[in-house]
C-alpha cells in the first residue's frame, strides 16, 4: 500500500462536492493511510460526521472548543500529528481565511499551527473561482509554499458550466501519493492514450457506435500522468473531464482519431490503444436525414482502417499496447490480435465477466505479452487495473533501454 503509516488530516468545508470526501477517505484508507477528518460547521450541512467517522475509523473533529473529549490545545496536537493536511473540498472562504491569517474555527486554527505541508483542492462556482480576490489569495498561498490542485471543468450543481469542479477522488489520491514520493518512473516518457467510443455517421442525424464510457482510457491517462509522463489523451465522445495536466484531444470518428494519433505517434514512447473504435463504417453517408418510409432499407459497411496494425508498420522504438473486448473464444482471439497487429502486449477484457465491461468502474483483465507471458488480474477498480497495466508495459521500455 502506497500510503502505509502516513497520517493525513482531511479538512472538509461547506461545498456540494463534500460528498466526494467520503470516497476520498475510503481511497486513502485503502492505500494504508490513517485519516482524521476535520469538518467546518457548513460542511456538516452537506455530509454527516457519522459517514466520515465510519469510513475513517476515527472521531470527526469540528469544534474548536468541544465540551468533552479534548484538552484546549487539541488543535496543536492535530497539527503536530499530521504528515499532510489536505483540504478537499476547499471553498473560497477557507482559502481567504488562510491567506489572511484568520483562525476562527478548528480547521483554520489547525492550518495556522501546521507543522506539515498543506494541500488545497478548491471547489466552487466558476464565477467565484475566477473572482480576482480568490485568485489573488491562491497566488499568495502558493508563494508561501501551499500546494493547490487544479479544479476541473464541467457542469456545476447550479447548472452552469465551467472551471471549479473538485477533481475526482482518484485524482486527488494520486496527488497525495506523489507528494509522499512515489517513484516517477515515467518522468521522461511521452505517452499517448486513446479512449471512449467512435461515432460513424449514417446520415446527418444517425450513427453507429458502442457503449464505451471511456473510463478505462481516462484512468490510464491519469495514472501515466501521476507517474510523471507527458500524456496526450485522444478521446471519442465520453463526457468525462480530462485528468489534471493531461492534454485532451476530442474526436468523433475512427478516421479522425487515426489522424490525430498520426500527429503524435512519432514522438510517443508508449501508446495505450484503449478506445473502442468501430470495426466497420458506412460505405456511404447521406448529407441529409434519411426519411422514414414503409420500405426496407439496406446499409452497406466497409472495414474501418485498423489503426494499431497500420501503426505497427511505422513502429520504431514505441511500445504498443492493445485492448481487446471479447464475448467468445476470448483468449484465442486476443492472442491472434497480439500477433497480427505486432503488439508488445494486449489487455483482454472479457465482456461476460462479472464487474467487467462497458460503463462500470471496475474491470477484470488478462495481460498477454509478445513473449507469451500471461497474467490474470483480479477484479479491481479501473484505476488499479491501469496501474498494473502501466507497470507491465514499462518492462518493455526498460528492456529496450538496457
Catalytic residues: 158
In contact, 91 and 124? CB cutoff 8 Å = yes
Closest CA to 317 of 401, 393, 229, 392: 401
Where does residue 329 rank: exposed (0-12), middle (13-18), buried (19+ CB within 10 A)?
exposed
- Is there a contact between 166 and 155 (Cβ–Cβ < 8 Å)? no
Strand 7-12, strand 84-90: pairing: parallel
Best CA proximity match to 222, nearest among 385, 32, 90, 18: 385
Nearest to 395 by CA among 312, 336, 319: 319
- Burial class from Cβ neighbours inside 10 Å (0-12, 13-18, 19+) for residue 7 reads middle
Write the DSSP symbol of residue 304.
P
Alpha carbons 15 and 169: distance in angstroms, whole number: 15
Grid cell of 315 as nine digits = 513502429
Closest C-alpha among 230, 235, 260 to residue 245? 230
Strand, coil or helix: what is 204? coil
Helix then strand then coil, % of the chain, to nearest 5: 35, 25, 40
Give SS3 for 63.
coil
Amino acid at each position: 500500500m502506497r500510503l502505509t503509516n502516513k497520517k493525513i488530516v482531511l479538512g472538509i468545508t461547506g461545498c456540494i462536492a463534500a460528498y466526494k470526501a467520503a470516497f476520498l477517505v475510503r481511497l486513502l484508507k485503502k492505500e494504508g493511510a490513517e485519516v482524521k477528518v476535520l469538518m467546518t460547521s457548513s460542511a456538516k450541512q452537506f455530509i454527516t460526521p457519522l459517514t466520515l467517522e465510519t469510513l475513517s475509523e476515527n472521531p470527526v473533529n469540528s469544534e474548536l472548543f468541544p465540551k468533552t473529549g479534548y484538552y484546549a490545545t487539541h488543535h496543536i496536537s492535530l497539527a503536530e500529528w499530521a504528515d499532510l493536511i489536505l483540504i478537499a473540498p476547499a471553498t473560497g472562504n477557507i482559502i481567504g481565511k488562510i491567506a489572511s491569517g484568520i483562525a476562527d474555527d478548528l480547521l483554520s486554527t489547525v492550518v495556522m499551527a501546521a507543522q506539515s505541508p498543506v494541500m488545497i483542492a478548491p471547489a466552487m462556482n466558476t464565477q467565484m473561482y475566477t473572482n480576482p480576490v480568490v485568485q489573488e489569495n491562491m497566488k499568495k498561498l502558493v508563494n508561501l509554499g501551499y500546494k493547490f490542485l487544479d479544479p476541473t471543468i464541467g457542469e456545476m450543481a447550479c447548472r452552469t458550466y465551467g472551471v471549479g469542479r473538485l477533481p475526482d477522488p482518484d485524482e486527488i489520491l494520486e496527488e497525495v501519493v506523489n507528494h509522499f514520493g512515489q517513484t516517477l518512473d515515467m518522468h521522461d516518457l511521452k505517452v499517448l492514450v486513446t479512449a471512449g467510443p467512435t461515432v460513424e455517421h449514417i446520415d446527418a442525424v444517425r450513427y453507429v457506435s458502442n457503449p464505451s464510457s471511456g473510463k478505462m482510457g481516462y484512468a490510464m491517462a491519469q495514472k501515466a500522468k501521476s507517474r510523471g509522463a507527458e500524456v496526450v489523451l485522444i478521446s471519442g465522445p465520453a463526457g468525462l473531464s480530462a485528468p489534471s495536466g493531461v492534454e485532451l484531444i476530442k474526436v468523433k470518428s475512427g478516421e479522425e482519431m487515426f489522424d490525430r494519433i498520426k500527429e503524435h505517434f512519432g514522438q510517443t514512447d508508449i501508446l495505450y490503444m484503449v478506445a473502442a473504435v468501430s470495426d466497420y463504417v458506412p460505405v456511404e453517408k447521406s448529407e441529409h436525414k434519411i426519411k422514414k418510409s414503409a420500405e426496407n432499407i439496406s446499409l452497406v459497411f466497409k472495414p474501418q482502417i485498423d489503426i494499431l496494425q497500420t501503426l505497427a508498420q511505422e513502429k520504431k522504438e514505441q511500445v504498443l499496447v492493445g485492448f481487446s473486448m471479447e464475448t467468445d473464444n476470448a483468449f484465442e482471439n486476443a492472442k491472434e490480435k497480439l500477433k497480427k497487429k505486432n503488439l508488445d502486449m494486449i489487455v483482454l477484457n472479457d465482456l461476460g465477466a462479472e464487474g467487467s465491461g462497458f460503463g462500470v468502474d471496475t474491470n477484470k483483465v488478462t495481460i498477454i505479452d509478445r513473449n507469451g507471458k500471461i497474467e490474470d488480474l483480479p477484479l479491481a477498480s479501473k484505476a488499479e487495473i491501469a496501474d498494473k497495466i502501466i507497470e507491465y508495459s514499462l518492462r518493455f521500455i526498460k528492456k529496450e533501454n538496457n
